[in-house]
Structure 1
Amino acid sequence: TMPGCLDFGQQDDRSLRPDSLNATRAAAQHTNVTVAAAQHARAYGKPAGPSAASTGPSPSGGRQTPLIFLDIDGVICCNHHGELEEAKLANLRIVAEATGAKVVLSSDWRRQRPLKQRVQRALARIGVGYVGCTSQRKKVEVRGSWLIEQPVRPLEIVEWLQRHRDGGAGCPWVAIDDRDLLCELGGHDLEGHFVHTFFSSGLTLTLAQQCISILSCPPTPLKSQYSNG
């Protein structure tokens, strides 16, 4: 963990259930997360919360608006009928409120306009800013007589940062996904910026804490540079 950064551990919290005991615990965790994030935001001279965010560099060349590269299936939608789940949206809102972060959609949902619009409406309803979505990039590998499309979501995220945020310099960001993006092409650039969810539980409160920890750390430039072609 970098000096001055939050460390909430690596454990996942699958025990939250809608009973009174766990609801009380969740409320207490929410308070602790928000207070801790506010303390770290003040340490970097930036108030916590969406109202403090700007979409570009500050006049003094300081930090830009934190970004969340958001997958949907296995993060916000952990079911087989396309429902955006309120508990997961609430945890996403905790991250946004604590850090001022806005969303860049990296999910396959961005490929279909009706699905993308559903996400945009849900984000607007909970007060989480939406910046845009990553481009669609393909990497095809020839294996014998087969053409195999390689997963390249990390490259799509890196390309977005290069085009819109100077390669991530001055911009805290985190990618949330149920795919193990670190093992995909370009995944090494996501090291220290990735929170791995599971379809069975999605974005839990513990994982929201990890997102806040990452977004509270000083931004670092990308390790690699890729062609936009």
Structure 2
Amino acid sequence: MTKIPDIATEALPIRRILVVDDEHSLRVLLSKALSRAGFVCREVPDAEQAWELVKDMDEPDFDLVISDISMPGMDGIELLKKVKEVNPAIDFIIMTGFASEYSYVDIMDAGASDYMTKPFNINSTLARIKRIAREKRHLIDLEETNRQLRQAMERANRLAEEAKEASKAKTFFLAAMSHEIRTPLNGIVGYTDMLMDTELDKEQTSFLESAKFSCDTLLSVVNDILDFSKVESGKMFLD
């Protein structure tokens, strides 16, 4: 007896499988083999019943549909297209036992994840499911990475905007404070100059010269702060 590997115990995003085939014995055989491998399976004999199970689901009950291509009424390709319209995340494997009107390209273009012929080998079928599941896992991981990247970019943009606003507030504060300091300082410098034009003894002159030097130094610092705030606000450019 062929040993069926238990691949459903792996951390893969395919657990629930819907088997659709009008051949009762084949449908039951495939469902039992997949169940033995650890999957949760349901089987129906035609595409109409499969469509009824899938069409109104907000959250799909199946991760994968394995469907025969040729069945009475709706065929497998029609079912595939309908399923993909309502839930593109459901993977789909098409089976066929003979040549059909659809080519391999038609089947894959319709949205199938894979294609296999009857009679099928269960280990080969499980290998196909495993490949599809791994590709789906890679896609999920990529989407999660992209989501985290978008969040990081949004946070960086938000922090940059907050820093920009903080810089504006700092520039405004520096300009306002510098202006408030320079106004009385100009008065002190002016009165100092006027006093130096009066009759003073040597000691008084020395005191006033020291005061004027200190005022001029402080005024230079204040002017530098004003110039810096203008550069930050874009109102002044450096050569």
Do they fold alike, i.e. is TM over 0.5? no
Bigger Cα Rg: 2
Q: TM-score normalised to the size of structure 1?
A: 0.36
Larger helix percent: 2
| Structure ranking higher on relative contact order (CA contacts 8 Å, 6+ apart) | 1
TM (normalized to structure 2)?
Answer: 0.35
